[in-house]
Structure 1
C-alpha cells in the first residue's frame, strides 16, 4: 500500500465512524462539525497537494480529490468544506508573494486555522456573469476594502477568508483576511434547503485595512495567478460529486437486493452509472495530476466538472426512484444526496456557468462579434 492509499484508507475509516453519525445533524440542524474538520486536518485531509515543507503530504491534487470523494460519500456538506479548506491551501501555495504563504499556509493545510474561499463572485464576474462586489483603494501600507459577499462558506469570527476585490484603474487583488479584523462583519443567510451545516454567512467589509502580508496577488500578478489556480479550483470540486455518485450507486445496488424485479424498469441502472463514473474518475485523475507541473487544458477541466454535475444529478435522481417511498423519508440519505447533488450543480462554477464558458471557448468567433 502506497502513501496515497494509506491516507485515503485512514480518512475513509474516520469518515465512516465519526462523520456518518453527524450527517443528519449537519444537513437538517445546521450543525457545523468543527471538531471533525480539525481532526481531519491532523490526518492531512486538506494537505495532499501541499509540499512537505509547508506541513503537507507532498502528494498531488488527484489524491486530494480522492480524499474529498471519500468524505462526500458520507456527507456532501462536509465534502464541500473539505474542498473549501483544501482550496484555500491551494491558493496560498501558488501565491507569488512569499509573505502571505509563510504566514498562513502551514496552519491552513493542517486546519489549525479554518478557512473559507469567497471567490464565487469574482469567478462569475470574470466570466461576464455578474459585477464584482468588493472594491479596494490603494493606501500607503496596502489597500482598503469595502463591499459585501452574500454567501461565503466555512467561515466564523476566528476563521480566515480568501477573497478578491477590484482596484480602480489597476485590476484586481486577492487577499487573505481574518474574520475578526476591524471592519469585517458576519451576518446569517436565509435558510437553505440543504448544506446548512457549512457555516455559510454574508461577509461584509467596511474600509478594511490590508497590508502587504495579507495580499495573495497584486493587480499586476492577478491575471497569471488566476490562470494558475483555476484548474485546481474547478477540479477540486469534482470530489464532492464523485463521492455522492458513489454513495448513490451503492444505494441502488442495496435496493436491488430485494426490488430488482421492478427497479429494472428505471433509467440509469447501477452498472451503467458505475461505468460512467469510472471513466469520469480516470479523466479527472489525469487532469489533476497534470496540475502538478503546470496546467491542463482549461476546456478539458471545465468539461470534466460539467460531466460530474450532470452524472451526480442523474445518479441521485435514480437512487431516490430505486428506493421508492423509503427514499422520500427525511431520515433516508437518498433524499439528502439529491439535494446535495443540486448544490454540486449550482455552486460556482454552476452547470449553466460551465456551459457558458465551454461555449465561449468552442465558439471564439461569436465572442469576437459580441465584443
Structure 2
C-alpha cells in the first residue's frame, strides 16, 4: 500500500471516529466541562497525534500537513477537542526536535501514541519573546538541573496524570524548556474561573514552588534555547491552523443545512458558503506547503504568521455567517452555530492571538523595509 493510500485510510478512520464518538459529546464538552479522555486515547491508538513523528519514535512517519488535516477533521465536530489534539501533537513536536535525547527517549513514544497525555504551557514564553508580557516562571541552577518558581494561569490538557512542557527564565543565562509531570513535588494544580466555552479542555492554573527539574527532563538548556525555539515555532503556529479549519468546516455544514430551506433569503448575506469554502481550500493548500517546509526546518516565519492570522479571520467570518444563515435557530444556546462562535473567538485569542500575530507581522515587515 502506498503512503498516500495509507494516509487516506487514516483520515477516513479519524473522520469516522470523530463523527461516531466525538460529535455526540460536543455540547457537553463545550458547556459542561466534559474532558474527552476516552476519545483522545482512541485517537492516539489510530496515530492521531503522531502524524509528523517518525515511526521509530512511535509516530506514523507522515508529515505536519497530515497532522493539521487530522486536527481539522476533529475540529469539524468539536473545536475544543481539536485544541486538545493540537496540545498533544505539539508536545510531541517539541520532544521530536528537542536537542537533548533524554526527554525524547523518556516521553516521545508515549505522547505520540496518546498513552501519556500532555499540555503545552508555552503561551507565556511565546508572548514574552514577542515583547507582550513578562515571563512568569523563573529558574536557578541546581547542580545539573534547576529549581523553578512562579505560576502559569492557563495551561490546557493537563492534570495529575499528565505531562506539561513549559519554559522558565534563568537569571543572566536565558531560558530553559522542560517537561514536568502533573504529580511532581512542588507543582500545584488549581481550577480556573469558568470560561464561556471550551470548558472541556482541562485548563488549569499551574503553580511552581521550589520545583526541582532534573537534567533528564530538560528539552533545551539556555545555550540551546534560542535555536530550539526557532526550530519548533513554525510547527507550533501552523499546527493551530487545523483548529481554525475545523471551525470553518463545521460552520459550512450549518450554512448548507440552513440553505436547504432558506437559500432564497440567505443569498443576501455576506460570506456565502461557496465563497468561504473556496477561501478555505486556498488557505489549506498554502498551509500544507508551509507545513512541509516546517517539517524540513526551512519554513519562513512571516508567511507562517500570515497563514495563522488568516485562519483566525476566516473562522470568525465563517462562524458569524453560519449564525446569520441559521437565523433565530442559530441564537439558541443548544444550536451548533453558537458553539462555533465561541470556538472561533478562541482560535483568535489563543496564543498567538490575532493581535499578537498582527504585532509580529508588523515588526517583521518593518524590519524588512528598514533593511531594504
Pick one of 30, 48, 52 that aligns with 1:49. 52
1:203 aligns with 2:215: no
C-alpha separation in 2, matches of 1:146 and 1:300: 36
* Deviation >2 Å, runs of 4+: 365-368
1:239 aligns with 2:213: no
Deviations 1:85-130 (A, max 9, x none): 0000000000000011000000000111100000000000000000
Partner of 1:154: helix, strand, or coil?
coil
C-alpha separation in 2, matches of 1:153 and 1:206: 20
Range with greater deviation from structure 2 (286-295 or 167-176):
286-295
Please list every run of 5 or more consecutive structure 2 residues that lacks an aligned counterpart in the other structure: none
Deviations 1:213-241 (A, max 9, x none): 11000000000000000000000000000
Partner of 2:62: helix, strand, or coil?
coil
Range with greater deviation from structure 2 (31-40 or 347-356):
31-40
Per the alignment, do residues 130 and 231 of structure 1 end up closer, same or farther by CA in structure 2, a change over 3 Å counting?
same
Alignment of 1:151-190 (within 5 A): 151-190=154-193
Pick one of 321, 328, 334 that aligns with 2:337. 334
C-alpha separation in 2, matches of 1:44 and 1:365: 40
Per the alignment, do residues 239 and 365 of structure 1 end up closer, same or farther by CA in structure 2, a change over 3 Å counting?
closer
Alignment of 1:67-106 (within 5 A): 67-106=70-109
Pick one of 53, 58, 63 that aligns with 1:60. 63
TM-superposed CA distance for 1:295, in Å, is 2.3
Per the alignment, do residues 221 and 367 of structure 1 end up closer, same or farther by CA in structure 2, a change over 3 Å counting?
farther
Aligned length: 368
TM-superposed CA distance for 1:367, in Å, is 8.8
TM-superposed CA distance for 1:292, in Å, is 2.1
Pick one of 336, 352, 356 that aligns with 2:355. 352
C-alpha separation in 2, matches of 1:367 and 1:10: 50
Range with greater deviation from structure 2 (241-250 or 75-84):
241-250
Q: Is the 8 A contact 1:141 1:210 kept in 2?
A: no
The residue that corresponds to 1:12 in the other structure is 15
The residue that corresponds to 2:300 in the other structure is 297
C-alpha separation in 2, matches of 1:293 and 1:256: 43
Q: TM-score, normalised by structure 1?
A: 0.98
Partner of 2:124: helix, strand, or coil?
helix
C-alpha separation in 1, matches of 2:231 and 2:199: 31
The residue that corresponds to 2:255 in the other structure is 252
TM-superposed CA distance for 1:366, in Å, is 8.9
Please list every run of 5 or more consecutive structure 1 residues that lacks an aligned counterpart in the other structure: none
1:214 aligns with 2:220: no
Per the alignment, do residues 78 and 365 of structure 1 end up closer, same or farther by CA in structure 2, a change over 3 Å counting?
closer
The residue that corresponds to 1:285 in the other structure is 288
The residue that corresponds to 1:117 in the other structure is 120
C-alpha separation in 1, matches of 2:340 and 2:285: 23
Q: TM-score, normalised by structure 2?
A: 0.97
C-alpha separation in 1, matches of 2:295 and 2:82: 22
Q: Is the 8 A contact 2:235 2:295 kept in 1?
A: no
Partner of 2:271: helix, strand, or coil?
coil
TM-superposed CA distance for 1:141, in Å, is 3.4
